Structure 1
Amino acid sequence: MTAFRTPQVVLFSPDVERAAAFYAALGFAEVFRTPADGPPIHVDVELGGYRLGLASERSTRDDHGLEPVVAGQRAAVVLWCDDVEAAYRRLQDAGARPVYPPAPWLGRLRIAWVEDPDGHLVQAVQHLADG
């Protein structure tokens, strides 16, 4: 039986270079790019051992014959942190649009929501000391 390994999520973007720059500003390191020269059609970035793929909407259609969903809140990147308020500001400084300001949740977490430049949700989450 084949074993699966190294899961990753791929987000579709009309501007892969812009998306890669946004996630790089958050501390993600670029680990893959194609093509090596010119505008990329796919970039992988990694943070804390987790890989996030950024794929061109056009390439996904033209190269793979797929119809990616490119509008609406269709996925969320969750980033754990020690200070949600600071993370919320940093995300906006990097180009994210605010969606929901920092607030307690479940009595043990503090969360905030933004949208990346392509409209994907990004959630900053912090464990509360009392939770």
Structure 2
Amino acid sequence: MTLFRTPQIVLFTRDIDRATNFYRRLGFEEAFRTPRVGTPIHVDLTLDGYRIGFATETSTRNDHCLDPVADGQHAAVILWTDDVHAGYAHRVDLGATPIKPPEPWLDHLLIAWAEDPEGHLIQVVQTVS
């Protein structure tokens, strides 16, 4: 028996509209939001069966009595692609901050790093022969 199912990650944000709009432009689709009207405190987006959530820093503090961190490189969203160069350029065109341009890693991957508008790391990765 498997105890858990349907894993996802939730990133904390100070500007949930900016964060979710950026990922929508990358191709993610909205799957959940609360509240449904007005500025949300939590939004889930999906892409190819993967679910990523965004929760406001304020709501997480007030609703759950936690101490979330919305700054820094605490997590990375990994996006696989067949064209790292195009994926890297596309993220930057949408407002991501370039961190490291495409470069080989190990002996079979090509990776590039950027930060989304909220400062979360995004890695685009491609298998190469």
TM-score bracket relative to the smaller structure: over 0.9
Which residue of structure 2 lines up, in the alignment, with residue 78 of structure 1? 78
Which residue of structure 1 lines up, in the alignment, with residue 25 of structure 2? 25
1:48-106 deviations in Å (ceiling 9; x for gaps): 10100000000000111000022211000000001000000100111110000000111
TM-score when normalising by structure 2 = 0.97
Q: Runs of at least 4 residues of structure 1 off by over 4 A?
A: none
Tell me, which stretches of 5 or more residues in structure 2 are unaligned?
none
How far apart in 2 are the matches of 1:30 and 1:119? Answer: 21
TM-score when normalising by structure 1 = 0.96
How far apart in 1 are the matches of 2:56 and 2:64? Answer: 11
Which residue of structure 2 lines up, in the alignment, with residue 50 of structure 1? 50
Which residue of structure 2 lines up, in the alignment, with residue 109 of structure 1? 109
The answer as to 2:90 corresponding to 1:90 is yes
Which residue of structure 2 lines up, in the alignment, with residue 69 of structure 1? 69
One-letter amino acid of the structure 1 residue matched with residue 64 of structure 2: H
Identity rate, percent: 60
How far apart in 2 are the matches of 1:2 and 1:106? Answer: 33
Q: Secondary structure at the match of 1:23?
A: helix
Q: Secondary structure at the match of 1:68?
A: coil
Q: CA RMSD in A?
A: 1.0
How far apart in 2 are the matches of 1:2 and 1:82? Answer: 33
Tell me, which stretches of 5 or more residues in structure 1 are unaligned?
none
